Amino acid sequence: MKINWKARMKNPYFWVGLAAVVMTAVGVSPETFTSWEILRQQLGELLGNPFLLGTALLAVLGVLTDTSTKGLSDEKQNKQKEGE
């Protein structure tokens, strides 16, 4: 399994998608970003709640999955580009 991390890190849509699904999975509300204390409380709730942590990890997995290849790997796509 080979993921092209360099390409993903450069793609702003990867970061937007990742942030959005994690915030949704954790149940972040707009007032979370009004103080550092509330943000720390939310992080504590995430780490202390196995269900929230699991859904956040599944959300991240959903963003990492490349739908143009089987599984998480970008390998087939990379091999095709090399052959061009």
pLDDT band at 71 (very low <50, low <70, confident <90, very high): low
> Domain range spanning residue 32?
5-83
What is the value of pTM for the model shown? Answer: 0.59
Amino acid letter, residue 31: E
Q: CA 54, 77, 68, 21 torsion: positive or negative?
A: positive
Site of tokens 């970003």: 33
> How many domains in the chain?
1
Q: What is the pLDDT of residues 5-45, one digit of tens each?
A: 888 888 888 888 888 887 887 778 888 888 899 888 888 88
Does residue 27 sit in helix, strand or coil? coil
Could you tell me the CA-to-CA distances from 74 to 44, 63, 71 in Å, in that order?
Answer: 34, 13, 9
Q: What is the pLDDT of residues 50-63, one digit of tens each?
A: 998 888 888 888 88
Q: How far apart are CA 53 and CA 11, in angstroms?
A: 25
Q: What is the largest CA-CA distance in the chain?
A: 52
